[in-house]
Structure 1
Protein backbone atom coordinates (compact mmCIF):
# COMPACT_ATOMS: atom_id res chain seq x y z
CA UNK A 1 0.00 0.00 0.00
CA UNK A 2 1.48 3.33 -0.95
CA UNK A 3 2.12 5.86 1.77
CA UNK A 4 0.26 8.52 -0.25
CA UNK A 5 -2.87 6.36 -0.54
CA UNK A 6 -2.75 5.61 3.19
CA UNK A 7 -2.37 9.29 4.11
CA UNK A 8 -5.01 10.58 1.71
CA UNK A 9 -7.63 7.82 1.62
CA UNK A 10 -7.39 5.85 4.86
CA UNK A 11 -5.89 8.02 7.61
CA UNK A 12 -8.60 10.73 7.36
CA UNK A 13 -11.18 7.98 7.97
CA UNK A 14 -9.26 6.14 10.69
CA UNK A 15 -11.76 7.19 13.37
CA UNK A 16 -14.55 5.48 11.42
CA UNK A 17 -12.52 2.31 11.03
CA UNK A 18 -11.48 2.34 14.70
CA UNK A 19 -15.07 2.67 15.93
CA UNK A 20 -16.28 -0.15 13.75
CA UNK A 21 -13.37 -2.44 14.62
CA UNK A 22 -13.84 -1.75 18.34
CA UNK A 23 -17.48 -2.78 18.13
CA UNK A 24 -16.60 -6.12 16.54
CA UNK A 25 -13.56 -7.16 18.59
CA UNK A 26 -12.90 -8.26 22.15
CA UNK A 27 -9.11 -8.20 22.33
CA UNK A 28 -6.27 -5.88 21.43
CA UNK A 29 -4.86 -8.45 19.02
CA UNK A 30 -8.21 -8.89 17.25
CA UNK A 31 -8.67 -5.12 17.07
CA UNK A 32 -5.29 -4.69 15.40
CA UNK A 33 -5.96 -7.60 13.03
CA UNK A 34 -9.37 -6.22 12.06
CA UNK A 35 -8.01 -2.71 11.60
CA UNK A 36 -5.19 -3.98 9.41
CA UNK A 37 -7.53 -6.18 7.38
CA UNK A 38 -9.96 -3.29 6.81
CA UNK A 39 -7.11 -1.06 5.60
CA UNK A 40 -5.84 -3.83 3.33
CA UNK A 41 -9.30 -4.41 1.87
CA UNK A 42 -9.76 -0.68 1.27
CA UNK A 43 -6.51 -0.66 -0.66
CA UNK A 44 -7.32 -3.86 -2.59
CA UNK A 45 -10.85 -2.67 -3.41
CA UNK A 46 -10.08 0.96 -4.17
CA UNK A 47 -10.62 0.43 -7.91
CA UNK A 48 -14.11 -0.94 -7.19
CA UNK A 49 -15.23 2.42 -5.78
CA UNK A 50 -17.68 3.74 -8.37
CA UNK A 51 -18.38 7.14 -6.76
CA UNK A 52 -22.09 6.32 -6.46
CA UNK A 53 -21.76 7.37 -2.83
CA UNK A 54 -19.28 9.36 -0.80
CA UNK A 55 -15.88 7.81 -0.05
CA UNK A 56 -16.75 7.82 3.68
CA UNK A 57 -19.97 5.88 3.02
CA UNK A 58 -17.99 3.32 1.04
CA UNK A 59 -15.44 3.10 3.89
CA UNK A 60 -18.26 2.46 6.38
CA UNK A 61 -19.79 -0.27 4.26
CA UNK A 62 -16.50 -1.98 3.49
CA UNK A 63 -15.38 -1.75 7.14
CA UNK A 64 -18.65 -3.25 8.37
CA UNK A 65 -18.51 -6.05 5.81
CA UNK A 66 -14.89 -6.91 6.63
CA UNK A 67 -15.56 -6.88 10.38
CA UNK A 68 -18.69 -9.02 10.07
CA UNK A 69 -16.84 -11.52 7.90
CA UNK A 70 -13.90 -11.71 10.30
CA UNK A 71 -16.24 -12.02 13.28
CA UNK A 72 -17.93 -15.02 11.72
CA UNK A 73 -14.50 -16.58 11.12
CA UNK A 74 -13.08 -15.87 14.57
CA UNK A 75 -15.91 -16.16 17.08
CA UNK A 76 -14.37 -15.66 20.52
CA UNK A 77 -15.21 -13.95 23.77
CA UNK A 78 -11.82 -12.98 25.13
CA UNK A 79 -11.72 -9.73 27.13
CA UNK A 80 -10.89 -6.62 25.15
CA UNK A 81 -7.73 -4.65 25.88
CA UNK A 82 -6.99 -1.00 25.20
CA UNK A 83 -5.05 -0.33 21.99
CA UNK A 84 -1.38 0.49 22.39
CA UNK A 85 0.28 -0.69 19.20
CA UNK A 86 -1.54 1.47 16.65
CA UNK A 87 0.35 3.88 14.40
CA UNK A 88 1.06 7.19 16.12
CA UNK A 89 -1.02 9.11 13.54
CA UNK A 90 -4.09 7.17 14.68
CA UNK A 91 -3.33 7.43 18.39
CA UNK A 92 -3.14 11.21 17.99
CA UNK A 93 -6.77 11.26 16.82
CA UNK A 94 -9.23 12.67 19.39
CA UNK A 95 -10.82 9.54 20.84
CA UNK A 96 -11.00 8.25 24.38
CA UNK A 97 -10.15 4.60 24.70
CA UNK A 98 -9.75 4.86 28.48
CA UNK A 99 -13.16 6.42 29.14
CA UNK A 100 -15.05 3.93 31.33
CA UNK A 101 -18.53 4.93 30.18
CA UNK A 102 -17.48 4.72 26.55
CA UNK A 103 -16.00 1.27 27.18
CA UNK A 104 -19.28 0.21 28.82
CA UNK A 105 -21.16 1.40 25.76
CA UNK A 106 -18.86 -0.56 23.44
CA UNK A 107 -19.25 -3.64 25.64
CA UNK A 108 -23.04 -3.27 25.37
CA UNK A 109 -22.84 -2.70 21.60
CA UNK A 110 -20.78 -5.89 21.24
CA UNK A 111 -23.75 -7.79 22.71
CA UNK A 112 -25.94 -6.75 19.79
CA UNK A 113 -26.31 -8.71 16.57
CA UNK A 114 -23.75 -8.02 13.85
CA UNK A 115 -26.11 -5.87 11.79
CA UNK A 116 -27.50 -3.99 14.81
CA UNK A 117 -23.93 -3.06 15.79
CA UNK A 118 -23.45 -1.45 12.40
CA UNK A 119 -26.79 0.36 12.55
CA UNK A 120 -26.15 1.88 15.99
CA UNK A 121 -22.60 2.89 15.12
CA UNK A 122 -23.87 4.73 12.07
CA UNK A 123 -26.65 6.31 14.14
CA UNK A 124 -24.07 7.47 16.70
CA UNK A 125 -22.14 9.03 13.80
CA UNK A 126 -25.31 11.01 13.06
CA UNK A 127 -25.86 9.43 9.66
CA UNK A 128 -29.33 9.89 8.18
CA UNK A 129 -31.71 6.95 7.95
CA UNK A 130 -31.16 6.97 4.19
CA UNK A 131 -27.37 6.85 4.59
CA UNK A 132 -27.64 4.03 7.15
CA UNK A 133 -29.95 2.10 4.83
CA UNK A 134 -27.54 2.58 1.91
CA UNK A 135 -24.56 1.38 3.96
CA UNK A 136 -26.35 -1.56 5.58
CA UNK A 137 -28.22 -2.46 2.41
CA UNK A 138 -31.79 -2.18 3.65
CA UNK A 139 -34.86 0.03 3.42
CA UNK A 140 -34.71 3.43 5.20
CA UNK A 141 -38.26 2.91 6.53
CA UNK A 142 -37.00 0.03 8.69
CA UNK A 143 -34.08 1.99 10.16
CA UNK A 144 -36.14 4.17 12.53
CA UNK A 145 -37.91 1.19 14.08
CA UNK A 146 -34.67 -0.77 14.28
CA UNK A 147 -32.84 2.11 15.99
CA UNK A 148 -35.63 2.46 18.56
CA UNK A 149 -35.40 -1.26 19.38
CA UNK A 150 -31.60 -1.14 19.55
CA UNK A 151 -31.69 1.84 21.93
CA UNK A 152 -34.17 0.02 24.18
CA UNK A 153 -31.96 -3.10 24.19
CA UNK A 154 -28.82 -1.06 24.93
CA UNK A 155 -30.58 0.68 27.81
CA UNK A 156 -31.54 -2.69 29.29
CA UNK A 157 -28.00 -4.00 28.86
CA UNK A 158 -26.47 -0.90 30.46
CA UNK A 159 -29.01 -0.96 33.31
CA UNK A 160 -28.02 -4.59 33.99
CA UNK A 161 -31.40 -6.02 33.05
CA UNK A 162 -29.90 -8.09 30.22
CA UNK A 163 -26.59 -9.95 30.41
Structure 2
Protein backbone atom coordinates (compact mmCIF):
# COMPACT_ATOMS: atom_id res chain seq x y z
CA UNK A 1 0.00 0.00 0.00
CA UNK A 2 1.56 3.22 -1.14
CA UNK A 3 -0.50 5.76 0.72
CA UNK A 4 -2.88 6.11 3.61
CA UNK A 5 -5.63 6.74 1.05
CA UNK A 6 -4.92 3.35 -0.59
CA UNK A 7 -5.18 1.66 2.79
CA UNK A 8 -8.46 3.41 3.50
CA UNK A 9 -9.81 2.42 0.07
CA UNK A 10 -8.98 -1.23 0.70
CA UNK A 11 -10.53 -1.09 4.18
CA UNK A 12 -13.70 0.45 2.77
CA UNK A 13 -13.84 -2.21 0.03
CA UNK A 14 -13.48 -4.96 2.65
CA UNK A 15 -16.34 -3.51 4.71
CA UNK A 16 -18.49 -3.26 1.59
CA UNK A 17 -17.78 -6.88 0.61
CA UNK A 18 -18.50 -8.10 4.13
CA UNK A 19 -21.82 -6.26 4.05
CA UNK A 20 -22.74 -7.65 0.62
CA UNK A 21 -21.81 -11.24 1.44
CA UNK A 22 -23.17 -11.44 5.00
CA UNK A 23 -26.30 -13.24 3.79
CA UNK A 24 -24.01 -15.98 2.41
CA UNK A 25 -22.57 -16.77 5.85
CA UNK A 26 -23.89 -20.25 6.62
CA UNK A 27 -22.35 -20.75 10.04
CA UNK A 28 -20.30 -23.75 8.87
CA UNK A 29 -17.18 -22.07 10.25
CA UNK A 30 -16.42 -19.50 12.89
CA UNK A 31 -17.63 -16.03 11.97
CA UNK A 32 -14.10 -14.65 12.30
CA UNK A 33 -12.77 -17.27 9.87
CA UNK A 34 -15.48 -16.43 7.31
CA UNK A 35 -14.84 -12.71 7.79
CA UNK A 36 -11.09 -13.15 7.35
CA UNK A 37 -11.60 -15.16 4.16
CA UNK A 38 -13.85 -12.47 2.67
CA UNK A 39 -11.24 -9.84 3.52
CA UNK A 40 -8.37 -11.92 2.09
CA UNK A 41 -10.23 -12.47 -1.18
CA UNK A 42 -11.12 -8.78 -1.35
CA UNK A 43 -7.47 -7.84 -0.80
CA UNK A 44 -6.31 -10.26 -3.51
CA UNK A 45 -8.75 -8.75 -5.98
CA UNK A 46 -7.81 -5.21 -4.96
CA UNK A 47 -4.08 -5.86 -5.40
CA UNK A 48 -4.62 -7.53 -8.76
CA UNK A 49 -6.49 -4.49 -10.03
CA UNK A 50 -3.92 -2.06 -8.68
CA UNK A 51 -0.81 -3.99 -9.75
CA UNK A 52 -1.70 -3.20 -13.35
CA UNK A 53 -1.83 0.50 -12.57
CA UNK A 54 1.43 2.28 -13.31
CA UNK A 55 3.31 3.52 -10.28
CA UNK A 56 4.52 7.07 -10.28
CA UNK A 57 8.16 7.64 -9.54
CA UNK A 58 9.76 10.40 -7.56
CA UNK A 59 11.28 13.04 -9.77
CA UNK A 60 15.00 13.36 -9.35
CA UNK A 61 17.32 15.91 -10.83
CA UNK A 62 19.61 13.18 -12.04
CA UNK A 63 17.98 11.33 -14.97
CA UNK A 64 20.19 8.26 -14.42
CA UNK A 65 18.79 7.77 -10.91
CA UNK A 66 15.25 8.28 -12.18
CA UNK A 67 15.74 5.62 -14.85
CA UNK A 68 17.11 3.20 -12.23
CA UNK A 69 14.10 3.85 -9.98
CA UNK A 70 11.69 3.27 -12.84
CA UNK A 71 13.51 0.08 -13.84
CA UNK A 72 13.50 -1.22 -10.26
CA UNK A 73 9.84 -0.30 -9.88
CA UNK A 74 9.00 -2.15 -13.09
CA UNK A 75 10.96 -5.21 -11.92
CA UNK A 76 9.20 -5.25 -8.54
CA UNK A 77 5.85 -4.80 -10.29
CA UNK A 78 6.62 -7.72 -12.59
CA UNK A 79 7.64 -9.91 -9.66
CA UNK A 80 4.44 -9.03 -7.81
CA UNK A 81 2.43 -9.82 -10.93
CA UNK A 82 4.07 -13.24 -11.14
CA UNK A 83 3.58 -13.85 -7.41
CA UNK A 84 -0.12 -12.99 -7.56
CA UNK A 85 -0.48 -15.09 -10.70
CA UNK A 86 1.00 -18.05 -8.87
CA UNK A 87 -1.09 -17.37 -5.73
CA UNK A 88 -4.19 -17.30 -7.93
CA UNK A 89 -3.58 -21.00 -8.69
CA UNK A 90 -3.74 -21.92 -5.00
CA UNK A 91 -6.98 -22.98 -3.31
CA UNK A 92 -8.68 -20.66 -0.81
CA UNK A 93 -7.06 -22.18 2.29
CA UNK A 94 -3.60 -22.03 0.71
CA UNK A 95 -4.19 -18.40 -0.28
CA UNK A 96 -5.19 -17.57 3.28
CA UNK A 97 -2.11 -19.35 4.64
CA UNK A 98 0.24 -17.44 2.36
CA UNK A 99 -1.34 -14.05 3.00
CA UNK A 100 -1.40 -14.60 6.76
CA UNK A 101 2.26 -15.61 6.57
CA UNK A 102 3.11 -12.54 4.47
CA UNK A 103 1.29 -10.36 7.01
CA UNK A 104 3.67 -11.66 9.68
CA UNK A 105 1.22 -13.80 11.64
CA UNK A 106 2.73 -16.54 13.82
CA UNK A 107 1.89 -20.19 13.22
CA UNK A 108 -0.40 -20.10 16.25
CA UNK A 109 -2.22 -17.01 14.97
CA UNK A 110 -2.59 -18.59 11.53
CA UNK A 111 -3.97 -21.75 13.14
CA UNK A 112 -6.47 -19.78 15.21
CA UNK A 113 -7.64 -17.78 12.19
CA UNK A 114 -8.16 -20.90 10.10
CA UNK A 115 -9.52 -23.12 12.86
CA UNK A 116 -6.73 -25.72 12.65
CA UNK A 117 -3.99 -26.86 15.00
CA UNK A 118 -0.67 -25.05 15.15
CA UNK A 119 1.17 -28.14 13.88
CA UNK A 120 -1.27 -28.45 10.99
CA UNK A 121 -0.73 -24.76 10.17
CA UNK A 122 3.04 -25.30 10.06
CA UNK A 123 2.77 -28.33 7.79
CA UNK A 124 0.19 -26.75 5.48
CA UNK A 125 2.17 -23.52 5.24
CA UNK A 126 5.35 -25.39 4.37
CA UNK A 127 3.54 -27.43 1.72
CA UNK A 128 1.90 -24.30 0.34
CA UNK A 129 5.27 -22.51 0.09
CA UNK A 130 6.68 -25.50 -1.79
CA UNK A 131 3.64 -25.58 -4.08
CA UNK A 132 4.02 -21.86 -4.75
CA UNK A 133 7.70 -22.35 -5.63
CA UNK A 134 6.77 -25.19 -8.00
CA UNK A 135 4.14 -23.03 -9.71
CA UNK A 136 6.63 -20.18 -10.09
CA UNK A 137 9.25 -22.52 -11.55
CA UNK A 138 6.74 -24.23 -13.85
CA UNK A 139 5.52 -20.90 -15.21
CA UNK A 140 9.08 -19.70 -15.75
CA UNK A 141 8.64 -16.79 -13.34
CA UNK A 142 12.00 -17.22 -11.65
CA UNK A 143 14.45 -14.37 -11.89
Q: Shorter-chain TM-score: what band?
A: 0.5 to 0.7
Q: Taking structure 2 as the reference length, what is the TM-score of the superposition?
A: 0.53
In the alignment, which residue of structure 2 is the partner of 1:40?
16
**Rg bigger for which structure?**
2
1:65 Cα deviation (Å)?
3.4
> Where do 1:126-145 residues align within 5 Å?
126-145=104-123
- From the superposition, tell whether residues 155 and 138 of structure 1 become closer, same or farther in structure 2 (CA, over 3 Å): same
CA RMSD after TM alignment: 3.9
In the alignment, which residue of structure 2 is the partner of 1:152?
130
**Residues in 2 aligned to 1:118 and 1:154: alpha-carbon distance in whole angstroms:** 13
What is the total number of aligned residue pairs between the two structures?
100
Does residue 64 (structure 1) correspond to residue 32 (structure 2)? The answer is no
Q: Which structure is higher in RCO with an 8 Å CA cutoff and minimum separation 6? A: 1
Query: Going by fraction, where is helix more abundant, 1 or 2?
Result: 2
Runs (5+) with no aligned partner, structure 1: 1-6, 18-34, 46-57, 69-79, 86-95
Is the Cα contact below 8 Å between 2:17 and 2:38 reproduced in 1? no
1:138 Cα deviation (Å)?
1.3
Q: Taking structure 1 as the reference length, what is the TM-score of the superposition?
A: 0.47
